Chains A and B, each alone.
Chain A
Amino acid sequence: MLRTALLLGLPVSVLGQGTDLVRLERSRIAFVSDAPMERIEAAQTNATAVLDLQERSFAVQVPMRDFQGFNSPLQREHFNENYIESDDFPTARFVGRIIESVDLTRPGTNAIRTKGKFSLHGVTRERIIDCTIVVAPDGIRVTSTFEVPLADHDIRIPRIVEQKIAPVVQVTIDLLFRKSEGE
């Protein structure tokens, strides 16, 4: 787990050298805040991630400033300045391991649980997150939808916008890893 966490910061070419590491081909991270008066959606494709098939551990890092969408540019600015405070906490991370002992080399679809440390807004929480992992011959696709209670991460919602921002945000991740043997 630690090894994967360290490898996050390294260029992709270095990652390619480990036989059990798979590199990220494509990613999509999205969130939805479904409040009574407003629904806010945003997404991005700039996450970095690494999956270690031998250690069965992974790390995902999301640059918070890169979220696009929102209902207005001002809303995006508020997201970065007031709530996420992207200057101080530029990334969100989830570093953990796969609990279930599924065979990640055999093609198929598996529902798995991942357990690890989820950091957002400078607050780290231990989370168990359900994921679906699809193993195909040329790559591995990991998808998951989970909830992030804002209060867990010290993100305070002013009373005046309580009706516009949900206290629990739905996050969807979709990561496509390509097996590195071909390189």
Chain B
Amino acid sequence: MRLRPLLMVLGLSIGGPASAQYPYVKSFHLQNGNLRPDVKCLAMDDLGMVWAGGEHGLFRTDGERTDPVLSVNMGEVTAVASFRGGVVAAFRSGVLLACRGLLTDTLLTDTALARSAVHDLVGVGDSIVWFGTYGSGLWRWAPDGVRHITMANGLNDDHVNALLALPDGRVVAATDLGIAICSPEGTVLRKLREEEGATDNLVLALDRDDEGILWAGTDRNGVFRFDPDAASFQVVALDSTWNSGPVAGLVVANNMVWTATANKGVLVYDLRSGIGSYAPDEASGPVRIRGIAHGPDGAVWWCDGTNTLYRGDADVLVVPQHEDEDLRHITALCSDDRGRIWFAIGDRLFHHATAFADAEHLSSIRLPIRPEVQVVTLQSDRTGTIWAGTFGEGVFRVHPDGDIDHLTSADGLANDNVLSIRTGSDVVWMATLAGVTVVEQRPDGSVAAVKALDTPGSGFLYDILPLPDGGAIAASDGNGIIRFAGPDAEGHIVGPDGATQGVSYYSLCPDGMGGAWACGPGTGLCQVSDSTVACLGNTSPVLAGEVFAIAPYLGRVIALGDQGMVALDIAHRDLVDLTDVMGTAGAVGELNAICIDHQEALWVATDKGLIRLRPGEDILLGQVSTAILGWRWGDEVLPMTRDVELGSDQNFLTFQFTGTPTAAPERLRFEYRLVGYDQRVLSTREREVSYARLPPGDYRFEVRAMLGQNKASAHWATLAFTISQPWWRTRWAIALWILLLTVLFYAFVRLREERLRFRDRMEREKVRLQLQAVRSQVNPHFLFNSFNTLMELIEEDRTKALAHVGELSEFFRNILHIRDKDLITVEEELQLLYTYFSLERRRFGDRIGLEVVLDDAVRRTWMPPLTLQMLVENALKHNAATREAPLKVTIRMDRGRIAVCNPDRPRSTQQPSTGYGLESIKKRYADITGERIEVEREGGSFCVRLPLLHHHP
């Protein structure tokens, strides 16, 4: 979406007035996507944004970017007006909407309004909106209710065309039957109809000037004005022979009355000079202006029912033509002290009042010069004589009485090619192609003496400037600035010898403070003092281009070139580029064809015609202002309050901003930065920037506008906000997290502990199972031995055999009894052992012996079952037992343990030891009690020491 501003085609409309002094008009074409909204009404807000309404709804534009105000189409907008720093718009559907920035607020919805459309709106203060309908009278909306003023309450007519609020709160309504002035509450106070002197009852437009005079635009009889507070209305018509058709709109701004006429475009009427002229559309046909509004910067915008908006700027007036004279070929220009502008076209000198109007006529004087000779410089002196310097035929003097006299080289001029004439205190200085000539005047203006001064260098001079000290400086070709101390002195090149060789200057101007400035090709602006020329360099595209004139203006030096216009603030040395705001780019002027009139306006002769420039102080400062229009989260518009706190998910943000001057929206650049996110300042030409996935934190969005090479706006527009932490990252949530983690960790530890314990229990269970297996292994082994013994006994001794079987069965019964126990008392074990040993004694006889020395306390301690039995069995199994050396096993306390010892006499026919028995005991002690058993083989004995278990675990 890019809008191309068009420089107005300068030229007269067919059938238009004979003169044309009209403001610089720039047009803008609104477009949003594929939509080119037709605009029928418009208003401006405090930020300089234009709000345009029409069939396609309401749009907001700064001339460069156009946005629909509502995402849904609410239908046609019939009227829009400034309100609360923004605007208020009336929709045909009967909705009244207040808008500011990106925010909208529905004030009223009334279906009665849908039947008779709102024709005009006006806001009073921040709380009251008046609106005039076509058919149902005047309405007054306030937050506490709506009042309705109709013919029944004394209103002239229920068909209201336009409204105007007076500073004291009164409201003026223009109806189909004259004007009604209403009190702030809505009582009709006065009426102005044809009976009371109105030129037409059908009043279509209203506005008020700075002096409180009301201006009314009518259907048939143009514009009239009246004082609303006068005892009786004195109606003054702007034009008694109105033929421009109905007045669609009327704006009074900066002492100009801008009248939108149906047939001839916009009439601009200057209250100071009392002169009006039409600013026609670039199309030559009649233009139907639909709406007109003026903004905070004094510029006036209007629309013609299409998507084109026009912006008229009274700071720049262009006169391309006047009374069939083509003013685009002016070769020289000056003003006199009688408020006239003099200019030369060909061999004719023209003069005219500084306002170009139909009523003002051009006067011309033909100079007796050859056709190829041009007047290249004009100057008026204090007697009112106009000096015209020609390129080839010397100087002509046009006296106030119309007499012309002629000065040539024959009269003492240095040369007949005179490029510049400037009047000093009592002498006239001339720059020629052969040095400087000074003409001394008598008090009556007659020539006393003509002197050619000695001029160093080639003598080719472009411009001359008398100084307050009586001297002068001249701009030379190739020799820099040449200074003359007085009208009799010879010239000296300013600056060190040789330094100015080859340097040319074209233009000179005073700075109003006794100093002088010069400008030449490639030099930029240079300050000339007695001894030096200090150049600031061509730091701007304008100065780098061809500069054709410089002039002092409001403490500045203005330089005009084919690239545009710059203003140098002499005090601060700030160079401000005015090209974009004054619209002079592309205009090429004659060398030094510039002057300042008695109203301090700058006049320049260019190939686009005479241009009058009167830039205001704010324009000259080159200041650019910036405003943040609003911001959105996705499509949701966020409030423009300070320090907004956003939710953690509101992290997709779009910022919309704009800047002024509205004259050059297409040239604005923006620097922006989201402090807290962007590391550096970014630049864009767009009017909005977006940020996605912003992390939580504190932010400040900053933006400022820049225009061309000028300084950025001094102040950043800022918007501070916070994106809050998500709930799961707030302080209490973190505490909760820690708690949860602790609980989880604890649970984990507990679980693991539980599992380890379980595993441990399983382990023990396994051991117990192994133990049982061991026990069950013991039995067959022992049984086998016992049966062998029994077999022997059966043959030897029947009684013994019976006893053996009895003891065997008792042994097994004991084993059965204890087999399910983990631990038994030592006593129980000993009983078992005794039974076992007596069984073994049957087999071994006296070869084995058993000695048990344990007291009762020990016998009451615990041990795994079959421990002693197994140790004794092992001893019998592994050691030799003979009659000569019986194997005696002793069981007694030793070092706090139960020691089972036997002589270490390994059998010669050693049975392979599985070591199973001992290992089994070790394991059982380790697993069940955690205690180790000691196994010792020393001093010919083998001892196993078992720890005492005092408690059943």
- B921 interface residue (CB < 8 Å to A): no
**Residue interface bits A87-104, CB-to-B below 8 A is 1, else 0:** 000000000010111000
Q: Contact at A113–B202, with CB atoms within 8 Å? A: yes
Give complex CA distance A36, B695 in Å.
73
**Residue interface bits B195-209, CB-to-A below 8 A is 1, else 0:** 000000110000000
Give how many A residues have a beta carbon under 8 Å from the other chain's beta carbons.
Answer: 10
Give complex CA distance A97, B220 in Å.
17
The interface residues of chain B, by DSSP majority, are classed as loop
Q: Contact at B177–A113, with CB atoms within 8 Å? A: no
Q: Contact at A99–B135, with CB atoms within 8 Å? A: no
- B176 interface residue (CB < 8 Å to A): yes
- B577 interface residue (CB < 8 Å to A): no
Residues of A near B393 (CB, < 8 A) are none
- Which residue of chain B has its CB nearest to the CB of A152? B288
- B159 interface residue (CB < 8 Å to A): yes
Q: Contact at A99–B115, with CB atoms within 8 Å? A: no
Residues of A near B320 (CB, < 8 A) are none
**Residue interface bits B162-197, CB-to-A below 8 A is 1, else 0:** 000000000000001100000000000000000000
- Assuming the contacts A97-B159, A99-B176, A101-B177, asked whether A115 and B202 have C-beta atoms less than 8 A apart, the reply is yes
- Which residue of chain A has its CB nearest to the CB of B248? A126
Residues A122-149 near B (CB distance < 8 A): 128
- Assuming the contacts A1-B135, A113-B219, A115-B202, asked whether A128 and B246 have C-beta atoms less than 8 A apart, the reply is yes
Residues of A near B219 (CB, < 8 A) are 113, 128
Total A-B contacts with CB atoms under 8 angstroms apart: 20
Chain B proximity of A96: nearest CB distance (Å): 10
Residues of A near B159 (CB, < 8 A) are 97, 115
- Assuming the contacts A2-B115, A113-B219, asked whether A128 and B177 have C-beta atoms less than 8 A apart, the reply is no
Chain B proximity of A99: nearest CB distance (Å): 5
Give complex CA distance A97, B134 in Å.
11
Chain B proximity of A73: nearest CB distance (Å): 32
Give complex CA distance A128, B176 in Å.
11
Chain A proximity of B91: nearest CB distance (Å): 17
Give complex CA distance A2, B112 in Å.
13
**Residue interface bits A69-113, CB-to-B below 8 A is 1, else 0:** 000000000000000000000000000010111000000000001
Residues of A near B220 (CB, < 8 A) are 113
Q: Contact at B176–A115, with CB atoms within 8 Å? A: yes
Cβ-neighbour of B202 out of A1, A2, A128, A152 (below 8 A): A128
Give complex CA distance A101, B202 in Å.
11
Residues of B near A113 (CB, < 8 A) are 202, 219-220
Chain B proximity of A165: nearest CB distance (Å): 16
Give complex CA distance A97, B246 in Å.
17
Chain B proximity of A16: nearest CB distance (Å): 26
Give complex CA distance A115, B135 in Å.
12
Chain A proximity of B79: nearest CB distance (Å): 13
Chain A proximity of B867: nearest CB distance (Å): 118
Give complex CA distance A97, B219 in Å.
15
- Which residue of chain A has its CB nearest to the CB of B119? A126
- Which residue of chain A has its CB nearest to the CB of B204? A128
Residues B201-234 near A (CB distance < 8 A): 201-202, 219-220
Q: Contact at B246–A99, with CB atoms within 8 Å? A: no
Give complex CA distance A99, B202 in Å.
8
Chain A proximity of B335: nearest CB distance (Å): 44
Which of A99, A100, A101, A113 is packed against the most chain B CB atoms within 10 Å? A99
Give complex CA distance A115, B177 in Å.
12
Give complex CA distance A113, B201 in Å.
11
Residues of A near B246 (CB, < 8 A) are 128
Give complex CA distance A178, B176 in Å.
28
20 A-B contact pairs sorted by A residue (CB < 8 Å)? A1-B135, A2-B115, A97-B159, A97-B176, A99-B176, A99-B177, A99-B201, A99-B202, A100-B201, A101-B177, A113-B202, A113-B219, A113-B220, A115-B159, A115-B176, A115-B202, A128-B202, A128-B219, A128-B246, A152-B288
Q: Name the 5 nearest CB pairs between A and B, nearest first.
A: A99-B176, A128-B219, A99-B202, A128-B246, A2-B115
Interface residues of B (CB under 8 A from A): 115, 135, 159, 176-177, 201-202, 219-220, 246, 288
Interface residues of A (CB under 8 A from B): 1-2, 97, 99-101, 113, 115, 128, 152
Additional pairs, 17, CB under 8 Å, beyond known A99-B176, A99-B177, A99-B201: A1-B135, A2-B115, A97-B159, A97-B176, A99-B202, A100-B201, A101-B177, A113-B202, A113-B219, A113-B220, A115-B159, A115-B176, A115-B202, A128-B202, A128-B219, A128-B246, A152-B288
